[in-house]
Amino acid sequence: FFSASSPMAFMDHQETFLSSFFGFIGVTDMTFVRAEGVNTGPEQRQRALESALAEIALLKAEVSA
């Protein structure tokens, strides 16, 4: 996986594509939540999903406030 701090981060094209696509239709305020390492084992998958869901909950609380 290509985390933001990984030397291979330049290979991650998902955020770039989504930013370009949504920017083209006028969406400019975007936040990406990553669940990294979900294919490296069941324990890491669980940790990654829990971390991503916690980040989503924080973002939801910020928007709701």
Domain ranges of the chain: 1-30, 33-65
Q: Rounded mean pLDDT of 36-49?
A: 93
Rounded to an integer, the average pLDDT of 3-23 is 86
pLDDT over threshold 70, residue 1: no
Residue 6 has pLDDT above 90, yes or no: no
Mean pLDDT to the nearest integer, 3-19: 84
pLDDT over 80 (residue 2): no
Tell me what the mean pLDDT of segment 9-19 comes to: 87
CA torsion through residues 53, 58, 25, 10, sign: negative
Measured in residues, the chain has a length of: 65
Assess contact for 44 and 37: CB atoms under 8 A: yes
Residues 56, 57, 58, 64, CA torsion sign: positive
